[in-house]
């Protein structure tokens, strides 16, 4: 068995959960925050039998889209010690950041 941990954009999360559920996958949705943008994103935990891994990954790939976002990065001000001013930078986020872990045990009590 595998555990898929998929970090996706909030905009894709509802459709992704529905699509996975419709195809018979079990899903847990967590509200998370990206370390770089410090903006909300969504993390899904999806436990699957090995033979269903590719199917679940295909759903994630199909539903999740890359998008440009504007982030604010600090840069040092020249000539002023220790001072920083924010400036906007454009970053491409997603579609999905996915980790696949081996599951040692799966039990429900």
Place of tokens 């891994």: 53
Q: Is 100 in the site for ligand 2BA (CB under 6 A)?
A: no
- Smallest distance from the beta carbon of 45 to ligand 2BA, in angstroms? 14
Q: Are 102 and 5 in contact (CB under 8 A)?
A: no
Q: How far apart are CA 54 and CA 56, in angstroms?
A: 5
Q: Is 91 in the site for ligand 2BA (CB under 6 A)?
A: yes
Footprint (CB under 6 A) of ligand 2BA, residues 22-81:
34-37, 41
CB-based closest residue to ligand 2BA: 34
Alpha-carbon 52 to chain mean position: 20
* DSSP character at residue 77: P
Choose, by CB under 6 A, the member of 2, 45, 52, 94 that binds ligand 2BA. 94
Length of the chain: 109
Binding residues for ligand 2BA, rule: CB under 6 A, are 7, 34-37, 41, 91-94, 97
């Amino acid at each position: 068995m595998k555990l898929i941990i998929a970090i996706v954009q909030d905009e894709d999360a509802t459709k992704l959960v529905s699509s996975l559920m419709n195809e018979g996958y079990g899903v847990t949705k967590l509200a998370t925050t990206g370390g770089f943008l410090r903006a909300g994103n969504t993390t899904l935990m999806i436990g699957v039998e090995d033979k269903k891994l590719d199917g679940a990954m295909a759903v994630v790939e199909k539903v999740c889209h890359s998008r440009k976002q504007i982030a604010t990065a600090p840069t040092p001000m020249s000539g002023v010690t220790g001072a920083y001013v924010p400036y906007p930078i454009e970053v491409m986020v997603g579609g999905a950041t996915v980790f696949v872990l081996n599951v040692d045990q799966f039990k429900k009590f």
